[in-house]
Structure formats: C-alpha cells, structure tokens
Amino acid sequence: MSAPQNVHVNPLYLGTYLAARVPMATATDQLAASEPFQKKTDQPLSPPRMEGSIQIADAAPPVEGEADPQMAVRQRLAMILAGGALHADLVAAVLDQPTTESLTIEALEADQVQAGQWIEATTQELARAWNGASAGATDAGASTPVGRLPDEHRYEIARLLVDVLREHPDGPMRIEPARLATYLTAPETADRSVAPDWGQRLAEARALAHVLDAALRCDFQREVKTVLGEAWTAIAGTAERQADQIDQVLALAPEARRIAWQRLLDVGGVLYAATLARVHRDSVRMIQAYQDCLNAGDAAGADRLARAYQDRRLGYAGVAHYFQVAVEPLDRWTRASLASPPEPPVRETPAAASRSPPGAVRRRPPAPAAPGGGGNGP
C-alpha cells in the first residue's frame, strides 16, 4: 500500500484554545504563525493538548498596544511540540501492531493513516452519540454548551483512542467506530449530579475506556456492553457518594463539584478495571486447579475448590463486591483528610512567590494517612 501524501496533524485546531490562553497575540501574529500549516489536503485529527508541552500562559505579557514579537514563535512551538506528541503516540501504537512485514517508512505511514482515519471516524461517532444522549439540549449549568465538539476535546479524544490502540493494536479491525462510540458513552442514569456537557462526556469516556481495556482482555462470558453498563452504574454511584461526602464538608462551588466528580470518575474507572483483571485472574486460576483435580480423579479436592470458589466470591458475580473492597482505602483517605483541620498557608520565599500568580496562596499538602488505614475506621 502506498503512503498518502499527507499524514499531518493540523495544529490549526488549536484556534479557540490558544485564543483563550494567549489573548495578547494579535490577529496578524496568529495568522502568520498558522500560514505554514495551512494545506487544503490536511485532514487533522484534533488540537494539541497544552499541558506538559509549553507554558504559553506563563509568559510575560507584552506592553499594552505593542505586539509581542515572540508570541507567534511560542504559538508555533506549542503546536509543533503538542502535535508531535500525538504523532509519536500514534507511531508507537502502529509499532505495537503484530506483523511479519518489514518496517519501512511507507508501511509505517500507511498504517498511521489507517489508524488516523479510525480515530477521526470514532471521534465523529462520539460527537453524534453524545449529542443524542443529551437530546441536543443545552444545559444552563454546563460549562460548555452541548453542540459542536470543542477543538481541545477532539485532541483529548484522539489521545484517548491512541491509548486504546496501544493496548489493542487490532482496534480498527476489531471494533468499528460506531460500536466503540457506544462503548464510551455513559448511559443516562440517576447517578449524574453534573450537567452532561462535552467535558463531562469526555471524563465519562475516560473512565469507561479503562474498563473497556480490561473487558477486552478478561473474558467473563458477558457482552462487553453489559460489562460496561454495570461498571458505569458502580463507578458513577461511587463517585456520587464520594463527591457528596466531600461537598458536605467543603461546600463546593458548582465548578469545583464538577472537577471533583470528573476526577473521582477517572479513579473509579482505574479501580474497576483493575478489579475486573484481578477477579478474572483469580477465577481462572482456581477453575484450572478444579479441572486438574477432576482430571487426576481427586473428587474431594475438586469439591473443596468449588466451595472455596463460592466462598471467595469469584467469577463475574464477585466483581461488584471486590470493587467496593478496592474503593475502601480511598474512602478512608478521604474521611481522614476531611476530618483533619486545614493547614495554615505556607510563607513563600521570594523566588517561589515570583513563580506564583498574583493573589495566589500556597498551602501545605496534607500529611498522607498510613497505608493500612489510620483514618476514621471503615
């Protein structure tokens, strides 16, 4: 297969994100910075993510009324670095694919384009699914109206899907975009205290992607959609309970509540995925031991293993129980943290203060609780 002429990730998707982060750049500067990337053949994946690439917002502002000659350079650098990070992840995902073919630039770029097309198609399906799940409504409490998918979220979705490709290189052949969009769209349930804008949908997709990875690896003889639906019920319910617990003590503002909910969803997704993998591994090991006893004619030993299997709540039915076991250390840490008095502000040195925005106050991080608990008890 010959490689297409263009496999660039067009950094022009940064548009509104850069404008919000760097309002001091003039329209002329922004256009000049973008011109080298404007190609009609570009089919961009998504916008670069700013974190960890270059801190444009921290740059010293220019004198009012004067153009900053370095702003266009910093914008281009941010685009190049962040777009390159996405390219690197995509190339790594391609390299992970099992193949007997020789590694050539042409083959690599062709596979890159195929993966990019799958990502773009999945992104479009996600936008359609999320609009449908929200009935096309705009929620007054949402930080972003439900409608056109924001550029920065397109980039985050691309990174998320590249991660899926890293773990499952056969993704484009195994899961068509529409089905993957269904997998990564949380069902409407009562456990949703935050308006379902794009940012919220993206946070939910991240949590479900953690579980999807484990579900594709661990065959519990259940439909993937069923596993994800039950996982979402457990994850969302746990996040809601934890957010309520924090809110009762800290009286969170709506935006803080939104951030807490999204972080708790991500943690819940990680823990649920790990729980699936652990229960599957233990179940398979005991089933194999049971079969070995039967093959050896040890009926008594097989009976003991069968009872132990039930007593330990192994099998898919035990996932919900062990998820709560996995969540308990986090709950204890939260209770201990909320029960501790707030730490006084830390007096900053002049050097540290110079790196902080005006009016910022640093506080000491709370001392971590002992790994074994040490909180307020179960």
Instruction: Output the pLDDT for position 344.
Output: 65
**45/166 same-domain check:** yes
**Amino acid present at 182:** T
Distance CA 313, CA 325 (A): 12
- Which of 158, 185, 212 terminates a domain? The answer is 185
Instruction: Confirm whether 216 is domain-assigned.
Output: yes
Examine the domain organization and report whether 179 and 194 are in the same domain.
Answer: no
Q: What does the block give as tokens for 55?
A: 């801190």
Q: Residue 363: inside a domain, yes or no?
A: no
Say which DSSP state 201 is in: H
pLDDT score recorded for residue 276 = 97
Instruction: Fill in the DSSP letter of residue 53.
Output: T
What span, in angstroms and rounded, lies between the C-alpha atoms of 169 and 375?
43
- CA 113 to CA 7: how far, in whole Å? 6
Q: Are residues 152 and 194 in the same domain?
A: no
Distance CA 128, CA 178 (A): 9
Q: Which pLDDT value is given to residue 72?
A: 82
Distances 256 to 246, 252, 345 between C-alpha atoms, Å: 11, 6, 20
| Phi and psi angles of residue 240, each rounded to the nearest 5 degrees, phi first | -65, -45
Interatomic CA distance for residues 23 and 104, integer angstroms:
43
Task: State the total domains in the chain.
Answer: 2
Spatial separation of the C-alpha atoms in residues 295 and 322, rounded to whole Å:
30
Residue at 318 is within a domain? yes
Based on the fold, state whether residues 123 and 207 are members of the same structural domain. Answer: no
Please indicate, yes or no, whether residues 159 and 258 belong to a single structural domain of this protein: no
**pLDDT for 87:** 82
CA gap 41, 111 in Å, rounded: 18
Buried b (16+ CB within 10 A) or exposed e, 180-213: bbbbbbbeeeebbebbbbbbbbbbbbbbbbbbbb
Phi/psi at 349 (5° precision) = -75, 160
Q: Are residues 129 and 215 in the same domain?
A: no
Report the chain's C-alpha Rg in angstroms: 25
> 203 and 93 in one domain?
no
On whether residue 336 sits in a domain, the answer given is yes
Please report the pLDDT score of residue 228 as a whole number: 96
Whether residue 12 sits in one domain with residue 152 = yes
Q: Which tokens hold the place of 308?
A: 């132990």
| Element containing residue 368 per DSSP (H, E) | none
**Per-residue model confidence as pLDDT tens digits over 68-110:** 778 888 888 887 888 888 888 888 887 877 777 788 888 888 8
Measured CA distances, 336 to 224, 326, 332, 371, 373 (Å): 37, 17, 6, 12, 9
204-225 per-position pLDDT tens digit: 999 999 999 999 999 999 999 9
Residue at 347 is within a domain: no
Tell me if 268 is assigned to some domain: yes
The structure tokens listed for 91 are 């190339």
How far is 226 from 220, CA to CA, in rounded Å?
11
Reduced to 3 states, what is the DSSP secondary structure of residue 140? coil
Write out the residue range of the structural domain in which residue 322 sits.
190-340+371-378
Q: Which tokens belong to 104?
A: 């050539």
- DSSP one-letter string for 162-200: HHHHHH-TTHHHHS-HHHHHHHTSPPP-S---S---HHH
Residues 178 and 211 in one domain: no
- Kindly give the confidence (pLDDT) of every residue in the chain, 378 residues in length, as a single tens digit, with 9 standing for 90 and above: 333 333 333 333 333 333 343 333 344 443 433 333 333 333 333 333 433 333 333 334 444 555 577 888 888 888 788 888 888 888 888 787 777 778 888 888 888 888 889 999 999 999 888 887 654 444 434 444 444 677 778 888 988 998 898 888 888 888 999 999 999 998 876 456 666 788 889 999 999 999 999 999 999 999 999 999 999 999 999 999 999 999 999 999 999 999 999 999 999 999 999 999 999 999 999 999 999 999 999 999 999 999 999 999 999 999 999 999 999 999 999 999 999 877 666 555 555 555 555 545 455 555 555 444 444 433
- Same domain (yes/no): 37, 91: yes
pLDDT tens-digit map of 26-58: 444 434 333 333 333 333 333 334 333 333 333
Rounded to an integer, what distance in angstroms lies between the CA atom of residue 275 and that of residue 281? 10
In a domain, 349, yes or no: no
Residue 246's contacts (CB-CB under 8 Å, 6 or more residues apart) are 252, 260, 334, 338
Of 120, 154, 185, the domain-final residue: 185
Residue 362 covered by a domain: no
CA 377 to chain CA mean position, Å: 31
Nearest to 277 by CA among 331, 231, 211: 211
Q: Are 356 and 362 in contact (CB under 8 A)?
A: yes
Which residues are CB-contacts of 234 (< 8 A; sequence separation ≥ 6)?
Answer: 268, 272, 320, 323
Identify whether residues 244 and 375 lie together within a single domain: yes
Stated pTM of the model? 0.70
**Whether residue 265 sits in one domain with residue 162:** no
Burial status of residue 45 (CB atoms within 10 A of its CB: 0-12, 13-18, 19 or more): buried
